[in-house]
Structure 1
Amino acid sequence: MSEYIHKSHNETVLLYHLVFPAKYRRAVFDEAVDGVLRDVCLDLERRYQLKFMEIGTDKDHVHFLVQSVPAYSGTKLVTLIKSITAREVFRLCPHVKKQLWGGEFWTDGYFVSTVGRHGDEDTIRDYVKKHGDVYQQLYEDRQLALF
């Protein structure tokens, strides 16, 4: 469950539901790609002020539930996550680059929605789990953590 982030002059809980489709809506997510994606996202938590509450893949897209600080807009989160995950997936899973004809990993488009803390977070979790055909949860964090 998300917790309030306490900074020197503010206290916030900002949750975002992000959805990134793979380029050409290709079904590129397998165990290797899922593992790289999860590990890279958890490394991002250590370097940036964000927390992945849940990460899940379907055949051709990924859902993220991310908690962050007000300094990071939705667009900044998208850019940060897309660029670093794409680079690392291509580096560590070269077969994906061949599947995508050597191009980009993510489509240019994405979905971003803010999630309310009271009552809506679990609703979004349930939606994400039931939305696709073959949803596979890669990561979930329900443990209290400090930034």
Structure 2
Amino acid sequence: MAESLAYSKWVCKYHIVFTPKYKRKMIYDELREDIEDIKEIIKDLCKWKGIKIIEGHMMSDHVHLLLSISPKYSISSVMGYLKGKSVMMIFERHANLRYKYGRRNFWSTGYYVSTVGINELTVAKYIREQEKQDQIMDKISLKEYENPFKGRAR
């Protein structure tokens, strides 16, 4: 279903996978037992940015997310936000890990992202509806071409 901003309709869905650093998988496995905590962190971060989580799953060594992200955000800025803020919140909630492992990066630097498109029928319907909408707007704006200072014929 299409979302909308002031003057646009959009469907921007992304399948994202990211992993902890090789040396941090041990921490991830420890935290995975308290999986609800990490899920809550990711849900909160997405809610604060207006990002909808369509689907999500935490595997033994990586995180899968299907997100609906507004086109006003780039995918790289969203990933920087999610990975950066989530590790800060993880270490805040589990302070012993910060002292045990230091303030080094928790997530690996890369991530996988793939767009999830819509089907051809939806695009065709949008194009048809957009043409009708333009025709309606042209009829409404026709009045602006009439000269308001033109007097009546006497």
Shared fold, TM over 0.5: yes
> Which digits, 9 at most, give the CA deviation of each residue in 1:4-59, with x for residues without a partner?
11111001010011111101161514131x21221122212332121111121111
Judge which range, 51-60 or 41-50, deviates more.
41-50
Structure 1 or 2, whichever has the larger Rg, is 2
Please report the TM-score for the alignment, with normalisation by the length of structure 1.
0.69
Q: How far apart are the structure 2 equivalents of 1:56 and 1:96?
A: 23
* TM-score, normalising length: structure 2: 0.66
Structure with higher strand content: 1
Q: Is the 8 A contact 1:41 1:52 kept in 2?
A: no
Cα-to-partner distance string for 1:77-111 (whole Å, 9 max, x where unaligned) = 11111111111111113455477x32221011111
Task: Give the letter aligned to residue 85 of structure 2.
Answer: I
Whether the 8 Å CA contact 2:18–2:107 is kept in 1: the answer is yes
What is the rounded CA distance, in whole Å, between the counterparts of 2:82 and 2:118 in structure 1?
22
* Aligned-pair identity (%): 28
2:21 match:
23
Q: Flag structure 1 segments of 5+ consecutive residues without an equivalent.
A: 120-147
Residue 61 of structure 2 is aligned to residue 63 of structure 1 = no
Conservation of the 8 A alpha-carbon contact between 1:55 and 1:64: yes
Residue in 1 aligned with 2:76? 75
Matches within 5 A, 1:61-140: 61-94=62-95, 96-97=97-98, 101-102=101-102, 103-118=104-119
- Structure 1: how far apart are the matches of 2:2 and 2:95? 39
Instruction: Supply the RMSD in Å over aligned alpha carbons.
Output: 2.2
What are structure 2's unaligned runs of at least 5 residues? 121-154
1:63 positional shift: 0.9
Query: Would the aligned equivalents of 2:38 and 2:90 in 1 still touch at CA under 8 Å?
Result: yes
Greater relative contact order: 1 or 2 (C-alpha under 8 angstroms, separation 6 or more)?
A: 1
Equivalent position amino acid for 1:43 in 2: D
How has the CA–CA distance of structure 1 residues 54 and 94 changed in structure 2, closer, same or farther, with 3 Å as cutoff?
farther
Please list the CA deviations of residues 113-138 of structure 1 after superposition, one character each: whole Å capped at 9, or x if unmatched: 1111349xxxxxxxxxxxxxxxxxxx
Higher helix proportion: 2
Contact 2:45 2:86 in 1 (8 A): no
**Which residue matches 2:8?**
10
